Amino acid sequence: MKLITEEISSVKFITEGKGAKKKMYIEGVFLQGDLKNRNGRMYPVSTLTREVGRYNESFVQKGRALGELGHPDGPTVNLDRVSHKITSLKQEGNNFIGKAQLLDTPMGKIAKSLIDEGVTLGVSSRGVGSIREDRSGCKVVGEDFMLATAADIVADPSAPDAFVSGIMEGKEWVWEGGILREQHAQSIKDRINALGGQNRLEEHKLNLFNDFLSNL
């Protein structure tokens, strides 16, 4: 499965309360379905509806729906970079409207400072899934899509319509024992096959396999 991120800039930052009770929130469209974006890619609404339902039950309702400041390299949420907590994610037609509270973490404080200084920020959803191309050439995100976070905070969003930008495809990832791991298997396999004519083939195979295990 591919690491998939998608940026949205049509969000607003709002402040609720005063003084010690003052809280800052992000609010707007976090995800959008059945829209072919400028890069020719699209999320089926049915896939997003199912996955947002799982995400709400497993993360939002349990206070575990966290997001980071910046563009992480993988699907795992890094606690040392957490800047906000997603408090709601609801479907309205083909759009999924989210709200997230900025936290008093180091990254949350940086995000608040950037907003106070007038920096334009947006959000980027992050997940993993396959992508297939249909007859019209549209690249459709597969039914195996799994949402890692509904919103990271990013400083460089750009997109069409509801300002959904292109999907950036990253490294291969696989599910192993319920954990997402970067897929090194094919490259290791290729290296093993290339050793076919060498005398110490078995030793090399063992070394390569140990290299693979150390990267998990």
Show me where the domains of the chain are located.
2-170, 184-214
Residues in the chain: 216
Work out the mean pLDDT of the chain and round it to a whole number.
78
Is 124 catalytic? The answer is yes
Instruction: Give residue 30's pLDDT band: very low, low, confident or very high (50, 70, 90).
Output: very high
Task: Give per-residue burial for 70-89: e unless 16+ CB within 10 Å, then b.
Answer: eebebbebeeebbbbbbebb
Catalytic residue among 10, 71, 184, 204: 71
Q: What is the pLDDT of residues 166-199, one digit of tens each?
A: 222 334 555 444 444 555 555 655 665 666 555 5
87 contact partners, CB below 8 Å, separation of at least 6: 25, 60, 65, 99, 100, 101
Pairing verdict, β 11-16 and 179-182: unpaired
| The one catalytic residue among 9, 83, 124, 125 | 124
pTM: 0.71
Instruction: For residue 71, indicate whether it is catalytic.
Output: yes
